[in-house]
Amino acid sequence: DVKVTQSSRYLVKRTGEKVFLECVQDMDHENMFWYRQDPGLGLRLIYFSYDVKMKEKGDIPEGYSVSREKKERFSLILESASTNQTSMYLCASSLRDRGLMTDTQYFGPGTRLTVL
């Protein structure tokens, strides 16, 4: 079974702090994704990566950056956390399907981040 793990289930940070959210997958997937989930807004894509050191902005990249130094690990960085970044953060991975990103996504359990 594919396993996607996230470093923390719950995290509380203060405004202005630098926050690292880590995601690791064990199935050699090329694609990895970071989403945030807010009530009434569904899942919104922050960034995705289709290969090591490659990254692409999603729909809401402002205030975030990412790092993919190894194939299995994809990190989301909040450079200076703000209260409007309080949310559930979900990491996912998938195989690269014929060069596209159309295959099933496998999700981690999520990190609920609270910024005070």
Residue numbers at the binding site for another protein (CB under 8 A): 4, 33, 35, 40-43, 45, 88, 90, 92, 100-102, 104-110, 112
Given the complex with another protein, which of 17 and 38 has the nearer CB atom?
38
In angstroms, what CA-CA distances link 82 with 19, 39, 68, 107?
Answer: 10, 18, 23, 25
Given the complex with another protein, which of 15 and 102 has the nearer CB atom?
102
Minimal distance in Å, beta carbon 80 to another protein? 27
Instruction: Please report how many Cα atoms fall inside a 13 Å half-sphere around the Cα of residue 46, on the Cβ side.
Output: 26
Minimal distance in Å, beta carbon 73 to another protein? 17
Residues paired with 57 in a beta bridge: 47
Given the complex with another protein, which of 33 and 64 has the nearer CB atom?
33
Distance CA 116, CA 110 (A): 19
